[in-house]
Chains A and B, each alone.
Chain A
Amino acid sequence: MKKSSPSFIRILGRIALVVAIIIIYAFGLQVTKVDLEKPQEAKRQEQLTNILRGLAHPDLVEYEIDRVIIDTPILVPCDGPAPPVAPAEPGPVISLSTNCAAPGEKIIVSGSGFEAGEDVYIYFVPFAQNADSEIELKLANSAVEVGDGGSFAKEVTLKRDRISEQVQTVRAVVNRQLGSPAPSTGLKETWNKIVETVFLAFIATTLGVIFAVPVSFLAARNLMLEVTSNFTRFMASLAVMPVGAWLGYSIFKGLADYGAQFVGAKPAGEAFLWALLPLVGLASVQVTAQTGNAALKAVRRWLVSGLVVAVAVIGFSMLGQLGRVAGLEWKQTLGDWSFFGNLVLIFSDVIVLGLPALGAFIGLFMLNPVINRILEPLLPKLSPAVGKVLAVGFAVLAGAVLFGVVAAALNWFYEFGNLSDVVAVPAVIGAVAFAGLAVAFDPHRPIPTGMFVYYVIRTIMNTFRSIEPLVMVVAFAVWVGIGPFAGVMALGLHTIVALGKLYSEQVENIAAGPIEAVTATGANRLQTIVYAVIPQIVPPYIAFTLYRWDINVRMSTIIGFGGGGGIGFLLSQNINLLKYRQASVNMIAIAIVVASLDYLSAKVREKIT
């Protein structure tokens, strides 16, 4: 009995819990507007019936229609003798209970010689000066169904206001299907859009894979854990990388522009001579520096490789520009083969847009190893004082560059003001802050650069992965316009981040032993990846690619709802226009495509594992 109070509290607790649950559900049902009255309203039920019937009658085929017209004369009002009725021809005929009647009078239209079950529409055709201005007025609200004997009789009421001294007409019309069924317009449209959809998924998957593979290595903990640096080198890298990217961008852009000016603008002969200029430089360096000591040879090697790169960039730029011209031309002139012109144009655009980006990329990652190669052997040999000075120096640069870049980026978004004014103060703050770090830390303090990259990439991936492609596509549709291209971009981006994560987990799952063994042979990092990592990840990578392809096909069928083109766009249009029979065709097509690709990729997956 004494124990009653704890159990009493427990009962109270349970009651509170039940009340809380009831409140949560009550609120939830309220905000989601659950309302069981609505679906029962007659109007709503009629709408549901319309949709379901429409969906049940997919607009797959259409026939050529023969509109059979049977006329009979009538005089309204009956101010004279009844007009003569033409003698019956073979085939359907109609007759009236009277061919001379008062406005508003009820007459009986009877027909014979029709086909049992077909629909007859009865019209009144008022007198018209010429056949073109003829109009048909419905006499019966709905079609009359012909009885078993091929005949029908229907009482109709003549129009009150259609009076004339001339003979007017009562008309029966039957629509007869002619010939064999042909695919409907809706079906043809659907087919086009399905092709678009499948290719949308295909291109998005391909693009996604191309970028996801390298990203997955950077997002694999086991590979990145070993990439370490020390404080001074880390600061040097931070300082040097944005500078390298900017330098690479500027140099490549300059060279590309140099190459681009020859295409179209100058006579071919002159352009050719100008383009030879860097080649001449290359040759002269080769000729003049045949001998010399090691340093001279190193300088020459750098010069030669620099010139080779320059020649290549100029050449590619010219190629890209030429390709653009040719692609545009072929797109217009090749007719059925114009897609080839389009391909040339796209590739050329990739080259033209890609060269400066490539320069930035190379600059970003080139300067870094160079500086590391210099610093790595140098640092251990320096006296502590010199080492410290070097560390502080690089830290000041790194802080200034890092804060400056961040400030510049923020300025772009929020438009604080003039770039140089906005950047100056943060750069100084960054320099001072990092100098403080450099004073506090040992220059040899190890820095896990690999994990730094790992966390940055993981964070970016997790952020983008949480945004559904259907949402992303809205942004892309604003940028590049509604259509499949926006869909490709949204799906492609989501594929990169989603696959990047899945891939990187596969890298993290591989056996470490082979990596250890290949490293022990003296192989460098890249060789280790190629010989010990890649063979282990190929099967799971293929499996996940197929899995993603599956998802992309599904997504591509609905990405159109967000403006991403493909079958989804057509479907959303048809639904909005209440064209349920066409929508039904779209849905059937989606089901077929998704199911068959599902089956296909399951088969392939079975094969490879």
Chain B
Amino acid sequence: MLEIKNITKIYDNTVLALNNVSFTVPRGQFLAVVGLSGSGKSTLLRCINRLIEPTSGQIILEGIDVTAAQPDELRRIRRRIGMIFQHFNLVLRSPVINNVLAGRLGYTNPAWSLLNRFSKGDMEMALKQLDRVGIKDKAHVRADELSGGQQQRVGIARALMQEPSIMLADEPVASLDPVLAHSIMQYLEQLRDEGITVICSLHFLDLVQRYADRAIALKDGNLVFDGSPSEIDDKRFKEIYGEEAQRIG
């Protein structure tokens, strides 16, 4: 279970990106985060694994206070939180397999990993994850030779190397061809079915309604909706996205 308690984030003492946001995610739920650009979705997701330091509030993951963790403990917590990104965030010049193995760094002996040595078990696991996302044959090509959809699969494989109990996904399909979106979303759905909590920010409401168990909405850093995706009717939609917004999905 993940508890977000009164999280506030103020950038540079001026920009209020999250304003006292609280919610709880039970284990194995697919939670969609929606909202306009700049509403604070990315900030929220990054506060959960403290890529961004929240200004105040608490994050409790399975009873452990993430916000109070010291660096060593924080790294141990992060191992259990997978993350995929809108722009995939691969090391483009490195081979795919190295990108995937990077997901294992939290578990490996730092000295060995600095020499680019991974255990046989880790290597096998990396190939297995690549197989799972259907690009095992690409293991030794450079990441920049892959298409966007393939790169995002590498991103998923990297996150899976962490054996996560939570998967954070920050607009995972926003820079992909819409027809590729579903294949990526289906991998996330599978993870949810395996008991991994998925927290995914999304732009398109049709994806939310098709994949998410629950949706929360942010507007200017405030939590303005928390409920089932099907509850987002036209009135709610206008509340979240503003009066001028047109529903397209």
Binding site for B on A (CB under 8 A): 376-377, 380, 511, 513-514, 516-524, 526-527, 530-532, 535-536, 538-539
Tell me whether A532 and B114 are in contact (CB under 8 A).
no
**Is B58 at the interface (CB under 8 A from chain A)?**
no
Binds A, one of B4-12, B31-39, B67-75, B224-232: B67-75
How many whole Å from A456's CB to the nearest CB in chain B? Answer: 24
Tell whether A522 pairs with B113 under 8 Å between CB atoms, given A536-B91, A539-B93. no
Tell me whether A519 and B51 are in contact (CB under 8 A).
yes
Tell me whether A513 and B105 are in contact (CB under 8 A).
no
C-alpha spacing A536/B158, complex, angstroms? 18
- Which chain A positions have C-beta within 8 A of B116? 530
Closest to B74 in A: A522
Partner of B49, one of A377, A514, A520, A538: A520
Tell me whether A532 and B91 are in contact (CB under 8 A).
yes
Partner of B91, one of A527, A535, A539: A535
- Which chain A positions have C-beta within 8 A of B162? 521-522
C-alpha spacing A68/B128, complex, angstroms? 91
C-alpha spacing A513/B85, complex, angstroms? 8
Partner of B51, one of A514, A516, A526, A536: A516
C-alpha spacing A376/B71, complex, angstroms? 9
Tell me whether B114 and A527 are in contact (CB under 8 A).
yes
Tell me whether A521 and B102 are in contact (CB under 8 A).
yes
C-alpha spacing A519/B105, complex, angstroms? 9
Tell me whether B91 and A520 are in contact (CB under 8 A).
no
- Report how many A-B pairs have Cβ atoms within 8 Å: 90
In the A-B complex, list the 3 residue pairs whose CB atoms are closest, starting with the nearest: A522-B106, A513-B89, A523-B105
Tell me whether A522 and B78 are in contact (CB under 8 A).
yes
Highest count of chain B CB atoms <10 Å: which of A376, A380, A514, A522:
A522
**Is B81 at the interface (CB under 8 A from chain A)?**
yes
Which of B52-106 touch A at CB < 8 Å? Answer: 68, 70-71, 75-79, 81-83, 85, 87-94, 98, 102-106
**Is B110 at the interface (CB under 8 A from chain A)?**
yes
Closest to A532 in B: B91
How many whole Å from A33's CB to the nearest CB in chain B? Answer: 56
Interface size class of B (residues with CB under 8 A): 35 or more
Tell me whether B68 and A517 are in contact (CB under 8 A).
no
Tell me whether B102 and A532 are in contact (CB under 8 A).
yes
How many whole Å from B81's CB to the nearest CB in chain A? Answer: 7
Highest count of chain B CB atoms <10 Å: which of A377, A514, A519, A527:
A514
How many whole Å from A29's CB to the nearest CB in chain B? Answer: 54
Tell me whether A520 and B105 are in contact (CB under 8 A).
no
Tell me whether B89 and A516 are in contact (CB under 8 A).
yes
**Is B155 at the interface (CB under 8 A from chain A)?**
yes
How many whole Å from A44's CB to the nearest CB in chain B? Answer: 60
Tell whether A517 pairs with B155 under 8 Å between CB atoms, given A376-B71, A522-B162, A531-B102. yes
Partner of B158, one of A517, A519, A539: A517
Tell me whether B105 and A517 are in contact (CB under 8 A).
no
Tell me whether A520 and B83 are in contact (CB under 8 A).
yes
Tell whether A520 pairs with B102 under 8 Å between CB atoms, given A376-B70, A514-B89. no
Highest count of chain A CB atoms <10 Å: which of B70, B102, B104, B158:
B102
Tell me whether B91 and A531 are in contact (CB under 8 A).
yes
Closest to A517 in B: B89
Partner of A527, one of B89, B90, B105: B105
Given contacts A522-B106, A530-B114, 6 further A-B contacts (CB under 8 A): A513-B88, A513-B89, A520-B81, A521-B82, A521-B162, A536-B93
Tell whether A380 pairs with B114 under 8 Å between CB atoms, given A520-B49, A521-B105, A522-B106. no
Tell me whether A521 and B103 are in contact (CB under 8 A).
yes
- Which chain A positions have C-beta within 8 A of B51? 516, 519-520
Tell whether A521 pairs with B70 under 8 Å between CB atoms, given A513-B87, A536-B93. no
- Which chain A positions have C-beta within 8 A of B102? 517-518, 521, 523, 531-532
Tell whether A514 pairs with B70 under 8 Å between CB atoms, given A522-B78, A527-B113. no
C-alpha spacing A180/B78, complex, angstroms? 79
How many whole Å from B87's CB to the nearest CB in chain A? Answer: 5
C-alpha spacing A519/B70, complex, angstroms? 15
Q: List 26 A-B contacts (CB under 8 A).
A: A376-B70, A511-B89, A511-B92, A513-B85, A517-B83, A517-B85, A518-B105, A519-B78, A520-B51, A521-B78, A521-B79, A521-B102, A521-B104, A521-B159, A521-B161, A521-B162, A522-B75, A523-B106, A527-B113, A531-B91, A531-B102, A531-B105, A532-B91, A535-B93, A535-B94, A536-B93
Partner of B75, one of A377, A524, A531: A524
C-alpha spacing A522/B114, complex, angstroms? 14
Partner of A521, one of B68, B88, B158: B158
C-alpha spacing A519/B51, complex, angstroms? 8
How many whole Å from B79's CB to the nearest CB in chain A? Answer: 4
- Which chain A positions have C-beta within 8 A of B159? 521
Which of B100-132 touch A at CB < 8 Å? Answer: 102-107, 110, 113-114, 116
Tell me whether B105 and A522 are in contact (CB under 8 A).
yes
C-alpha spacing A372/B90, complex, angstroms? 32
How many whole Å from A518's CB to the nearest CB in chain B? Answer: 5
C-alpha spacing A42/B146, complex, angstroms? 75
Tell whether A514 pairs with B110 under 8 Å between CB atoms, given A376-B71, A520-B78. no
- Which chain A positions have C-beta within 8 A of B78? 519-522
Tell me whether A526 and B110 are in contact (CB under 8 A).
yes
C-alpha spacing A170/B106, complex, angstroms? 99
- Which chain A positions have C-beta within 8 A of B88? 513
How many whole Å from B90's CB to the nearest CB in chain A? Answer: 6
How many whole Å from B158's CB to the nearest CB in chain A? Answer: 7
- Which chain B positions have C-beta within 8 A of A522? 75-79, 105-107, 162
C-alpha spacing A531/B105, complex, angstroms? 9
C-alpha spacing A522/B92, complex, angstroms? 20
C-alpha spacing A196/B231, complex, angstroms? 81
Highest count of chain B CB atoms <10 Å: which of A513, A517, A518, A539:
A517
- Which chain A positions have C-beta within 8 A of B89? 511, 513-514, 516-517
C-alpha spacing A520/B159, complex, angstroms? 9
Closest to A510 in B: B91
Closest to B108 in A: A527
Closest to B49 in A: A520
